[in-house]
Structure 1
Amino acid sequence: MAMREVHKRYLREFLPAMAAYVVLILLSALASARVDSVAGRVVLALLPLLPILLAIRAMVRVVRDQDELERRIDLEAFAISAMATGFGFFSFGLLMGANAGWTVSGQAVAIWVMPCLFASFGIAKLVVLWRYRSHE
């Protein structure tokens, strides 16, 4: 089955954004320790947000331009991933509040929300796609 143009465009927009994110997150982490000014560290810390905004834009555009079934599949996957990510981080917060033996900084937890959301969306989409295909 050939890939539709809407999905080709998505890959052309999403993959370079993710590659830029990887480069900028590494650059940001390595360079921020060497910058003395607070403003410089803030700019370096926020720099990886630019490609994330491009990735989000690509995701919104592909959902907007898909057919009804594809949009429904993505909506279900988004709902599952948002709830799973929220539930996971909420559970983790409850365990942290109970002093369950872990010591993790808020920064370390917060920085993993977006990657976990993206990863859980990918997994949820595979599950939803499998479910729809098994009912054909």
Structure 2
Amino acid sequence: MKNWQRKYLVRFIIGMAGYSILLPISLIVVGGGRVQQPWLAILIALLPIAPFLIAMTATVQNVRHQDEMQHRIHLEAILVTTLLTGAITFSYGLLEALELVPALPTVLIAPFMIVVWGIANRVITRRYD
């Protein structure tokens, strides 16, 4: 494993571990009604975003160190992810506006995009192997 890959992996794991720890804590504290001040509730609810951003910036730095072929694969995967997410959320939004389906929590969109990006990345990589 190259030095930049090790740095990426360490930062990514630290970010995701922090996110995984802070998310349930913030949900319990804010969701349990233990915080009365709205500004403090917002601050605590958004705490997990800080380590999540650390993991995401590590991912961007990882891609920056990769070669042109990997850049192309990531670009295609991101394009597929963006278009697919747009089509699905727009379609669902139309159905939701017509009250044909229940409301979809927007908190599910980011994990959906990450999963689609991972799958698209794997499929597109296989095409070039």
TM-score relative to the length of structure 1 = 0.85
- Aligned partners of 1:85 and 1:8: how far apart in 2? 31
Is residue 99 of structure 2 the alignment partner of residue 103 of structure 1? no
Report percent identity of matched pairs. 35
Q: How does 1:116-127 map to 2 (within 5 A)?
A: 116-127=112-123
> Alpha carbon RMSD of aligned pairs, Å?
1.5
Q: Is the 8 A contact 1:6 1:66 kept in 2?
A: no
Match of 1:26 among 24, 27, 31: 24
Measured at CA, do residues 70 and 5 of structure 1 come closer, stay the same or move farther in structure 2, by a change above 3 Å? farther
Gaps of 5+ in 1: none
CA separation in 2, counterparts of 1:8 and 1:79? 27
Structure 2, unaligned stretches of length 5 or more?
none
State the distance in 2 between where 1:93 and 1:42 align.
26
Aligned residues: 127
TM-score (norm 2): 0.89
Could you list the runs of 4 or more consecutive aligned residues of structure 1 that deviate by over 6 angstroms after TM superposition? none
How far apart in 2 are the matches of 1:128 and 1:10? 22
